[in-house]
Structure 1
Amino acid sequence: MYKNIFQQAWVTTDLDRAVEVFREEQGIGSIAVFKDFGLPVADSEPLVIDVGLCYVGDLQFEIIQPVSGPADLYRRHLPDSGDFALKYHHMCSVLDSAEEYGRVLEDYRRRGVTIEVEGGFGDGGRFFYADTRDAVDHYQEYVLLDEATNEFMASLPRN
């Protein structure tokens, strides 16, 4: 279900190099970089990533380098060779309420779609990744944003 798409995301083996690719080859001037960014995950240790974030118009760009925790959903798109890679990974939709979040999550589960990771952030924010690769060749992430996360997002660079 595509709704309120606000983010496109890529995974990489080298965040600093990937940020340079977006700056030099794609003309994105300003990208905020956060190292060891942790997200609580249900039934697991925290998901830790290095991440670059910015907006291009109203669309958020996210570049993720997996660090630790349940990061296989990112790592499986990257080569084992250690060579530099930058690969498209997911789009993210914002849901409007806890009820809608629950309905969308349950719909995926009812249809047998694998939920790769489910977690939370801030004061009531939540996220999950549905494995929609067979249908559309990428993951679909859904988020329910809390006020603190909205404030954080508003502080990101705009290009």
Structure 2
Amino acid sequence: MITGTLFQNGYICRDVDAAVAEFRKRGDVRVVGPFEADQSPDTPTGPKRQVTKLAFVWQGNMQFELIQPILDETGLYGAAGDEPMRHHHVAMRVDDWDTFRSALARQDLPVVIERAIEGDALKFLYIDARPAFGHYLEYVWMTDERWRQIGGLPA
């Protein structure tokens, strides 16, 4: 299922600080973070804890999400391996979460994690699209205020 507006490439990193430095060395970018996130998204087998060190690197309205797993009970992120960064997913922003979820229910790629942030400012999920595309697909709905908070430029 491909829908929404592509805005992000996600990478698993061994060291988020080193990854941010690499982006800064190679371009004029805006950076939000690094910061630590501790969350328990829903999975098909119930809530699982994830602790990650994150940074958002922006080039225009394209975001590079840098993820350093610290604890991942979901098994979603895995290790970066021998490389400093490994591509993991692309993310699309959708306008209407309920319409998106209805369409998603009619496709054959499984949801592996899902979470709604308190206050209903952001919702996201990952589907396992590795059999079709070689990576995960993340879908995100967020308010315009949350978009600005994570570093997105006004439309």
Match of 2:36 in 1: 36
- Mapped partners of 2:55, 2:131: distance in 1: 27
Question: In the TM superposition, what is the alpha-carbon distance from 1:100 to its structure 2 partner?
Answer: 1.9
Counterpart of 2:126 (choices 125, 129, 135) is 129
Contact in 2 for aligned 1:37/1:51 (Cα 8 Å): yes
User: Are the counterparts in 2 of residues 44 and 69 from structure 1 also a CA contact under 8 Å?
Assistant: no
CA contact (8 A) 1:36 1:67 kept: no
Q: Output the CA distance in 1 between the equivalents of 2:90 and 2:113.
A: 15
2:7–2:92: 8 Å Cα contact kept in structure 1?
Answer: yes
What residue is the counterpart of 2:114 in the other structure?
Answer: 118
Which structure 1 segments of 5+ residues have no match?
none
SS at match of 1:19: helix
- State the number of aligned residues: 148
Asked if the contact 1:40–1:120 (Cα under 8 Å) also holds between the matched residues in 2, the reply is no
Q: Deviations over 1:113-133 (max 9, x none)?
A: 222211121422211111111
2: CA distance, partners of 1:104 / 1:91: 19
Letter in 1 for 2:85: L
| Residue 138 (str. 1) matches residue 135 (str. 2) | yes
What is the CA–CA distance in structure 2 between the aligned matches of 1:2 and 1:143, rounded to whole Å?
Answer: 11
8 Å CA contact 2:29, 2:57 repeated in 1: no
2:68, 2:62 → 1: CA distance? 20
Moved >6 Å (runs of 4+): none
- Rounded to whole Å, the distance in 1 between the matches of 2:110 and 2:15 is 28
Segments of 5+ residues of structure 2 without an aligned counterpart are none
d(CA) in 1 for partners of 2:52 and 2:104? 23
Write out per-residue CA displacement over residues 120-147 of structure 1, whole angstroms, 9 at most, x where no aligned residue.
2142221111111121111100011135
**Matched residues in 1 for 2:27 and 2:72: separation?**
32
When normalised by structure 1's length, the TM-score is 0.79
Instruction: Give the aligned residue type for 1:5.
Output: L
User: What per-residue deviation string (whole Å, max 9, x for no partner) do you get for residues 33-88 of structure 1?
Assistant: 23321334123244221111132112122111112243521115x22xxx553011
Q: Which amino acid aligns with 1:58?
A: N
